[in-house]
Amino acid sequence: MLRKCDSENFTLWLITREPLVNPQLQLIVNEQVRLFSEPELQLNHIPLGAHAHQYLLQVHQPNLLLAGTQVKYQLLEKQGESVFTSIDKLVYPEHSSPHFVHKPNIKQLLHGSCRNPHHPSGDGLVRAEQQLAASLNTDNQPSLLMLSGDQVYIDDIAGPMLWAIAQVVEKLGLIEETFPKAPITSSRELCYRASSLYQRDSQLLPQAEYLTELHLFKWRRKHEIFTSRLSHNHLVSLGEMIAYYLLIWSPELWKCIEVPQQLEGLSPKHQAQWQKEWRALQTFQHGLTSVRRLLAHIPTYMIFDDHDVTDDWNLSARWEQAAYEHPFSKQIIGNALVAYALFQGLGNAPEKLASIQKQLSSFFTKPTPETHQNIIQTVLRFEGWHYELATSPKVIVLDTRTRRWRSENSLAKPSGLMDWEALMEFQDQLIDQEKVIIVSAAPIFGVKLIEAIQRMATFCGLSLLVDAENWMAHRGAAMCLLNMFAHRRTPKEFVILSGDVHYSFAYDVKHRCDHFDAHIYQICSSGIKNQFPEKLLPVFDKLNGWLYGHYSPLNWFTKRKRMSLRGRRPNGHRSKRLVNNSGIGLVTLNENGAPNKIAVLHSDDSITEFKPPRDTYWD
């Protein structure tokens, strides 16, 4: 997988069965061959298991990559043999090695979120690979792929996937661990028999007793700490999470395991669920060769959302209190964040996570219960998951999960997605920029009707039930953010890329006062392999248009009343604004940073293009 690649950095992430022997990285830029070995080539080796070795290979040099040039690369070891030779269909026809074009001036990019392997929809990353293959020899090759959250669903695992994970953990000799104050003492006791599948929410996951609040009443009762209604097979151990990542990004391990179409011992209900999930995973794994080829040919950047760790992660201070005060739930959350660091975070900004990388390498080399708790404590306290890219427009990727602005009124109310200090840092990144691309996992300007329903649920003490977390749910965070768009030294062109919601839309946003001339484009592409309930979304779409349309007076009762929102029309549709079809987002930008094309390339080969409003209010 290609990770951070800019004028001074080339970063390659991979996992091998055996340790590399005297590896060398070969880069061919403008037909000039350059060979890098240690110490110029930083290996960053982490032994994840007996037969799983992670490498983050990085070369950092001034003027390493030239803008607009094609870069070919090979990884050599031993006697100059290519590591890639034996990998099936990694390289495109008529090419001898993987390659990409370094394009720091972003004219086109791919983006999306929410990839659930067993969802029955198609895989948008397969569609992204088709788009990349069609543009290889043209000027339309995308600059990068941005994955804006829920790359994995740690809290929603299919039965056949858990069966596969168990085999991978054993075959690769992945890390074992002990569990404090849990129904089992170690990961060796995790059960994968039919009688235990779909039972983790009731048999294994921890519960806590804490206060429930309605507007007028309060009472204490036991709650499940992990609130996902699909947590029947919630992953627990770090070894399980490592195996899961390996199974969703590469076809290799699927060749080494067996997952039966029927499993004896399941109840009739779970047997039907198993077969449905099995069929979906069969289709999913057939596309993984294309997914691996995509990730080897385009620089890819990521940021977490809740399902990368668990549903409702840090949604409220009350949830945090329950989750982090219980040793077992804290370890599960910490394991998921360690797995995120390994498979996603390290490659985004290797220089920011250098200390974590060293601690991870030390921990996996000689794991103990004490060092395990130390690395969990490190990742839970770390506040540097956000990052920016030295591109034009500048890309700013927000961490909307770990630096929350807790509610001042009630611990049970949703926290702001970023606290005051994080928002001030964000504003500093915006100052004196003419154009910018912001990546926020949750849409900054979402569907107002759904936000209103979430607000009513919060009033009734049910914020966890409806995932009541959006930028407008916390007044302080919302006002601070909205004021940034009106600041005289912030950009004139804002492009906001989001996901999370499992449907796609695009808004043109402008301040209602004429002397604030910033143009804002809220673009949401979700999900890559997920969808909103099909019968429900058209109802929300129509009601939102009636109640919160551009000219509706109800807009004056919202926090964003000073902003004028116009929904873009998918394929010119007269009244529809929301699209419920899995795929990958495609955005093409003008020289000034404004989008001239906003589209979603769907997994069924159809295309949705969001057309500007008919009576647009700026040129």
- pLDDT value at residue 201: 92
| pTM for this model (two decimals) | 0.94
pLDDT, average across residues 39-57: 96
| Distant-in-sequence, close-in-space partners of 131: CB < 8 Å, separation ≥ 6 | 110, 142, 584, 586, 601
Q: Look at residue 618 and tell me whether its pLDDT is greater than 80.
A: no
Nearest 5°: CA angle at 28, between 27 and 29? 110
pLDDT one-digit tens code per residue, 232-277:
999 999 999 999 999 999 999 999 999 999 999 999 999 999 999 9
Per-residue confidence band for 296, with pLDDT thresholds at 50, 70 and 90: very high
Residue 527, preceding peptide bond in cis (omega within 30° of 0) = yes
Whether the pLDDT of residue 559 is over 60: the answer is yes
pLDDT at 209: 59
The band of 617, judged by pLDDT with boundaries at 50, 70 and 90, is very low
The string of pLDDT tens digits covering residues 351-367 is: 999 999 999 999 999 99
pLDDT confidence tier of residue 221, bands split at 50, 70 and 90: low
Return the pLDDT at 94. 87
Share of the chain above pLDDT 70, in %: 95
* Low-confidence winner among 157-171, 508-522, 598-612 (lowest mean pLDDT): 508-522
Instruction: Say yes or no to pLDDT of 222 above 70.
Output: no
H-only helix segments in 87-195: 124-134, 159-172
Going by pLDDT thresholds of 50, 70 and 90, the confidence category of residue 211 is low
Span 123-142, pLDDT tens digits: 999 999 999 999 987 888 99
Alpha helical stretches, state H, 435-474: 448-459
Where does the pLDDT of residue 464 fall: very low under 50, low under 70, confident under 90, or very high at 90 and above?
low
pLDDT tens profile 97-110: 999 999 999 999 99
Nearest to 350 by CA among 5, 589, 86, 1: 5
* pLDDT at res. 184: 96
439 beta partners: 397, 497
Residue pair 560/445 in contact by the 8 Å Cβ criterion = yes
When the pLDDT of each residue in the chain is averaged and rounded to a whole number, the result is 92
